Structure 1
Amino acid sequence: MREYIYNTWNGVMDARHNPLKNIPDLHVQHMIMQVLAFMWSIVFGLMIVESVFAFGISAIAHTTLLAAIIVTVTTFDIAENSPYSFLNGYHSVNRTRNYIWSNGVKIKLDKRDPGGEHE
């Protein structure tokens, strides 16, 4: 039963498994999922209370939940790919990207070295 629920959830909510995976642009996939979420908010809001007020509360709750998820995923992504972004003080764009270009050659910087003013 647990596996059935897990697979059903992924079949609807995970863009890697649902039919939206065929849309090449991730932004379009996300937009369509948001439109569907608002549509279901309307349906449930009207079914539960038969009120547009209930939809408003549901829409705000869904938007808040999606925003929190986006902020969390973005923060985790930055922490994984560019941990020095969280250090206090000045860090050049090259340092946050973890590489520099010199004479047309991309040079990877040491992740343990926070860098300095003149890299």
Structure 2
Amino acid sequence: MREFVVSSWNGVMNYHHNPLRHIPDLQTRHLIMQVLAWMWCITFAIIVGSWSAFGISAIAHVFLIGAIAVTVGTFETAKRTPSAFEFIKGYHSYGRGRTYTIYHDKEGMPKKVYLDPNDPGGEHE
């Protein structure tokens, strides 16, 4: 029974096994899965005869498939380009990340002030 459930799940939800695997673009596969989910939500609502059932089912499907798509996208990014998750080492405030800050002079005119490149910045110096 477990094998049947896993096989059925993979046949529909796993893009390595279902026919959508032939579509190369991950975003297109996700869009098609969302459209199919909406179709099944509408079908379920018609069978039950309640538009409130459609709303609940539609929202649940959007969150479920959206979460699955974000997870798969994150895993694919980690597999294909792990450098995307390499962040700048150390603590830098956003303003110090550009190596300068903008001040205003006595007349109110903006003035670019370059910062010391050896200073990592931060609010608590």
Scaled by the length of structure 1, what TM-score is found?
Answer: 0.59
Aligned residue runs from structure 1 range 24-103, under 5 A: 24-48=24-48, 50-73=49-72, 81=82, 82=85, 84=87, 89=92
How far off its partner does 1:66 sit?
2.9
CA 1:89–1:3: 2 relative to 1, 3 Å: farther
Identity over aligned residues, as a percent?
50
Alignment match, 1:110: none
Distance in structure 1 (CA, Å) of the matches to 2:26 and 2:75? 18
Give per-residue Cα distances to partners, 1:56-106, cap 9 Å, x unaligned. Answer: 121112112233344555566778831537x753597xxxxxxxxxxxxxx
Alignment match, 2:10: 10
Distance in structure 1 (CA, Å) of the matches to 2:28 and 2:77? 22
CA RMSD of aligned residues (A): 3.4
CA 1:26–1:78: 2 relative to 1, 3 Å: closer
Distance in structure 1 (CA, Å) of the matches to 2:77 and 2:92? 17
Could you list the runs of 5+ residues in structure 1 that have no partner in the other structure?
93-115
The structure richer in helix per residue is 1
How far off its partner does 1:14 sit?
0.7
Distance in structure 2 (CA, Å) of the matches to 1:89 and 1:79? 25
Distance in structure 1 (CA, Å) of the matches to 2:76 and 2:91? 19
Scaled by the length of structure 2, what TM-score is found?
Answer: 0.56
1:21 corresponds to 2:33: no
Q: Which structure's CA Rg is the greater one? A: 2
CA 1:29–1:68: 2 relative to 1, 3 Å: closer
Could you list the runs of 5+ residues in structure 2 that have no partner in the other structure?
98-118, 121-125
* Bigger relative contact order (CA 8 A; separation at least 6): 2
Contact 2:30 2:69 in 1 (8 A): no
